[in-house]
Amino acid sequence: MQDITGKAVFGGIAIGPIHVYQKKAHEIRDTRVEDPEQEFARFEEAVEKAKEELQVLYDKAVSEVGEENAAVFEVHQMMLEDDDYLESVEGMIKDDSYNAEYAVRNTAEEFAEMFAAMDDEYMQARASDVRDVSSRVIKILSGAEETGISGDRPVILLAEDLAPSETVQLDKSKILSFVTRLGSANSHTSILARTMNIPALIGVDFPEGLEGKPGIVDGFSGTLIVEPDEAHLKHYQDLLLKEQERKKLLEELKGKENRTKGGREIKLFANIGSVKDVDSVINNDAGGIGLFRSEFLYLESSDFPTEEQQFKAYRTVAEKMEGKKVIIRTLDIGADKSCDYFGLDKEENPALGYRAIRICLDRQDIFKTQLRALYRAAAFGNIAIMFPMIISVDEVREIKKITEEVKASLKEEGTEYGEAELGIMVETPAAALLSDALAAEVDFFSIGTNDLTQYTLAIDRQNAKLDRFNDTHHPAVLKAIEMTVENGHNHGIWVGICGELAADTSLTDTFLKMGVDELSVSPSRVLSVREAVRNSDIY
């Protein structure tokens, strides 16, 4: 028996044979071409065919895993329309006379390295996307065949990494668990595992020669067990049975109140990153949207999204939620989540750099465009607006002045708009310490525990070497949360939590005792948090 540890990205137990997924490598030769124009035309034809294939994959993914997870193929199509990407390939072909396969591979590696170096897990995960879409173009250029997996029995799938196009082509009924050496919590494989409700591990340094061997994946402890003995097998079979029974019980919680045995109520909302995530919010019975990360409208675009594009996105979400609260965070972008068209400089410490509200207050044209779209969408639903990275009362007052200017402009034009609650994210120690003064200026607080923990403990949460010091239950963090809740209530405003800690059911009682009014979690965690609330004795 062999235990191999990694990082769990979705909990659960899987028991079955191991299958090692082998990718078919495409040999890329560095050759010079005699007719660069003809070679570039060959590349353009391959790009068009790749787009057609991606559309087929998108349609297949929608039917299997829903629009939310199929959206990655729309992103891939946009990557093939990115000017910087295309110009890089064109330059290598036309200026240097390289063959198309070589130009695509080198461009892919350059872009992938750029994404991987960013201080943001979502953007780091885009490195695999650019490699995936480029591999598709290279496959078309070289005339290679698609690879797949064979076999009839459901398996624990081991791989170096899995690209989105590979995962969507796999027979999902034959997969018990994903285990990869590489990847991240935001990789498509991880997202797909959460959608399929199957355990997944990343960062597992598994050895060669595991094909066909019996295995167990413990998605709670992050362990792959190879060739388990009878005692371990029996133990995990019992756990698997209990887990299956628990999932059925959680489904029965849909439509139930978020009320403790002692009568204390709390709102349970969901966090989303795009319009396509709304279906998951509704399917998991969340009471509203506690965090809509609007920056993804910018990250997925090759230029600043227009007022009309933003308005349509916000309106769609508001209407689909049918009157339930939708809290939209204004642009939270910076050197770690960078778009070329913003023209931001590279920073040594982007987490503490030029980002979020700092950019918006400097570049008010961008900010006002977003605010106009938000207020227009507010006429079609229950929208609240939330501002990130606040550190002072002066910032909030300046923001409020700008919002009044935007509303006055809309009124003067005769453009329909609605009113919206204004709130701030409490994610800096400064905001927590000033929460008494800040509460007098806004309608609500939403505590972003990811950054609040990082800044309070002076720990870079992207640095794996600091994992053992990164205590999310640190007394200083909990004290900052408690103080924020108390100060908010003293001024008659409601206080929620939208960071990862909101989904930590070991802290549910703690938050209820503090008087937290709302918890916003990923859609898949809504029912498990509801279960924790309903099992609590807090009055």
As annotated, the active-site residues are 188, 498
CB 364 within 8 A of CB 346: no
State the Cα–Cα distance between residues 523 and 281, nearest whole angstrom.
Answer: 5
Provide φ and ψ at 472, rounded to 5°: -70, -15
CA distance linking residue 517 with residue 486, whole number of Å: 11
Residue 240 CA: distances (Å) to CA of 5, 16, 131, 198, 528: 19, 12, 36, 11, 17
Q: What share of the chain is helix, strand, coil (3-state, %, to 5)?
A: 50, 15, 30
With tokens 């480029």, the residue in question is: 134
Sheet containing strand 2-5, strands side by side? 2-5, 223-226, 214-218, 13-20, 155-159, 175-180, 200-202, 7-10
Report the run of H or E that residue 61 belongs to, with start and end.
helix 36-79
Copy the structure tokens of residue 259.
């009320």
Helix axes 36-79, 100-116, angle to 10 degrees: 30
CB 459 within 8 A of CB 469: yes
Instruction: Report the b/e string of 295-324 with b at 16+ CB within 10 A.
Output: bbbbbbeeebbebeebbbbbbbbbebbeeb
Whats the size of the chain, residue-wise? 539
- Sequence-separated (6 or more) residues with CB below 8 Å from residue 370: 294, 307, 310, 330, 331, 360
CA-CA-CA-CA dihedral for 175, 176, 180, 184, to nearest 10: 100
C-alpha 414: how far from its chain's center?
37
Give, for 136, the enclosing helix (H) or strand (E): helix 121-142
> Which parts of 208-294 fold into alpha helices (H)?
230-251, 278-283
Contact at 8 Å (CB) between 49 and 212? Answer: no
